[in-house]
Amino acid sequence: MPKPPQGALKPPKAVFDGIYAFAPNRETLGGTAYLIVEKFGNVLIDCPPWHEVNQEFINSCGGVRWLIITHRGAIAKVDLIQKALSCDVSIQEQEAYLLPGLNVVSFQKEQFLHEDLKVIWTPGHSPGSACLYYRHRGFSGAQPKGGILFTGRHLLPNSNGELAIIRNSKTFHWLRQINSVHLLLKEFNSEVLSYICPGGNIGFLRGQLSIDRAYERLLELDLATKS
């Protein structure tokens, strides 16, 4: 197990009850990974900095059943993570070739891991970019109202802390990325989608670890792309 670089020993922070955000990972260009702790199986979303501190934290939470990769840029030490945690790795089929020799469960358009857990293909940022939807039943007791969308780098906060589609030199297909916002709007509504946890640019949220009014912000973003 490699030693963490100096300054990387910050413990994961609680975003909500049972959901934690890891410190940005230099190997994924500052990407933020998350851990969902659930009775039906813990879920690791993207690759956190892989060292003994994070591994011990994950083990203290009961390990991991699934590692979800939201895009090719979030891949880092997946082989070591899978070996240490004995977890399944989920990735969209167009990017599965980037993980040769590993136990990978690929999908085409969507993948249900549980009735409260669904991976959705949202191409554009990369060919296999995907989002994970998690229905967090703790928001309103036994009857869920709202949920969380982990967006990887499909949707990120901009420098003003606003939800945005960010185009850069590595963007795979800009129009497909815009169309993927339309897809999410059709998939959800304001009753089932409350928060967004982006996979990068967390510093622009100025101390926050999630974006509220998620569906409303998706609508605003959709209108902005049409103007």
Task: Count CB atoms within 10 A of the CB of residue 51.
Answer: 16
> Residue 27: left if φ>0, alpha if ψ -120 to 50, beta else—which one?
alpha
Block residue for tokens 């039943």: 137
Instruction: Give the mean model confidence (pLDDT) for residues 144-159.
Output: 90
> Higher-confidence residue: 180 or 170?
180
- pLDDT tens digits, one per residue of 99-150: 999 989 999 999 999 999 999 999 999 999 999 999 987 765 555 567 999 9
- pLDDT tens digits, one per residue of 19-38: 999 999 999 999 999 999 99
DSSP symbols for 167-192: --TT-S-HHHHHHHHHHHHHH--TTT
Which of 10-14, 22-26, 150-154 has the least mean pLDDT?
10-14
Block residue for tokens 């690791």: 44
Mean pLDDT of the residues in the chain:
92
Euclidean distance between CA atoms 146 and 99, whole angstroms:
33
Instruction: Give me the pLDDT at residue 6, please.
Output: 53
Block residue for tokens 């970019």: 129
Q: Are 56 and 14 in contact (CB under 8 A)?
A: no
> Residue 213: left if φ>0, alpha if ψ -120 to 50, beta else—which one?
left
- Single pTM value for the model: 0.93
Pick among 3.60.15.10, 3.30.450.20, 3.40.50.720, 3.40.50.2030: CATH of 13-226: 3.60.15.10
Backbone angles phi, psi at 173, to 5 degrees: -155, 105
